[in-house]
Amino acid sequence: MSRHILVVDDEARIREVVQYALEREGFRVSAVDDGAAALDALTRKDAFDLVVLDVMLPGMDGLELCRRVRATSKVPILFLSARSDEIDRVLGLELGGDDYLTKPFSPRELVARVKAVLRRTDDAPEEEAPKKRFTHGKIAIDPERHDVRWGAEPIPLTPTEFGLLSALLERPGIVLSRGQLMQRAYSYDNLVTERTIDTHVRRIRAKFRAVGGVDPIATVHGVGYKAAEAE
């Protein structure tokens, strides 16, 4: 069955361009023009595989919608925005977005980014052996169930955050540069930037702090990141 994508944008022209580009690549697309309608669609049983979300929406904007969606769902979110300021991109990622594309954009780049995000969320190919559950101190990671816990407390990581944390904790003591993390955690995505890596690290740290956990990632200045000492 083709992947189902929800497009949320208040500009009819943008919705039409995005829908046409994605449907031409074989995706099934639903489109709405505001945050309330998107939230309603996302709470139905008909699950979506990805959301293309405009930041500047009437009423509930895209950032607020993302915040609400992330409270209950890990569905990948690709932000669209006419604002190119770095602070806006970082805020979108820190709220749980998986990627950020600035308007105007080419339909080809949009499709490439959608495919890259979806590849990061795919299950391992059938011919690969299932990855086993592993621990790092009080942190337990179950790749098959996409589950991360600090003791008994679940940590709600997005697929992107899960891939990054797993890449580090699978190799305790090994320092990975941002470039190596881009290759290991986002093996098919050459559109991820080093700045994006830093943003996701901050989000992972904040989620562990929120449940009383310690920082699972240590910064090695001038080099990259590694798993923090196990507690």
Domains of the chain with bracketed CATH: 4-121 (3.40.50.2300), 134-227 (1.10.10.10)
User: Is 150 exposed, middle or buried (CB count within 10 Å of its CB: 0-12, 13-18, 19+)?
Assistant: buried
* Cα dihedral across residues 194, 200, 204, 209: positive or negative: positive
Q: How many residues does the chain have?
A: 231
Interacting residues of 8 by C-beta distance below 8 A, sequence separation 6+:
31, 32, 33, 34, 35, 37, 38, 51, 52, 53, 54, 57, 62, 65
Query: What average pLDDT does the segment 75-98 reach?
Result: 76
pTM across the whole model: 0.57
Split at pLDDT 50, 70, 90, the class of 227 is very high
Split at pLDDT 50, 70, 90, the class of 96 is confident
Beta strands in 33-187 (DSSP E): 50-54, 77-81, 99-102, 134-136, 139-142, 147-150, 153-154, 176-177
At residue 126, the pLDDT reads 44
- Element (DSSP H or E) covering residue 183: helix 178-185
At residue 47, the pLDDT reads 83
Mean pLDDT, the chain, rounded, equals 85
Token readout for 26 is 């074989």
Residue 109 has pLDDT above 80, yes or no: yes
Contact 55, 81 (CB under 8 A): yes
Alpha-carbon distance 209 to 223, whole Å? 24
Split at pLDDT 50, 70, 90, the class of 89 is low
Query: What average pLDDT does the segment 37-62 reach?
Result: 88
Alpha-carbon distance 133 to 64, whole Å? 34
pLDDT digits (tens, 9 = 90+) for 136-167: 999 999 988 889 999 999 999 887 788 889 98
Residue 39 has pLDDT above 50, yes or no: yes
Nearest-10 Cα torsion for 165, 168, 172, 174: -160
Alpha-carbon distance 22 to 80, whole Å? 15
Query: What average pLDDT does the segment 125-135 reach?
Result: 63
Token readout for 53 is 């979300």
Neighbours of 134 (CB within 10 A): 14
Query: What average pLDDT does the segment 211-223 reach?
Result: 92
Of the candidates 118, 121, 106, the residue with the CA atom closest to the CA atom of residue 21: 106
Strands 153-154 and 176-177: unpaired
At residue 187, the pLDDT reads 46
At residue 181, the pLDDT reads 82
At residue 8, the pLDDT reads 96
- In percent, the amount of the chain with pLDDT more than 90 equals 50
At residue 76, the pLDDT reads 92
Split at pLDDT 50, 70, 90, the class of 192 is low
Of the candidates 142, 180, 146, 172, the residue with the CA atom closest to the CA atom of residue 161: 146
At residue 131, the pLDDT reads 67
Split at pLDDT 50, 70, 90, the class of 1 is low
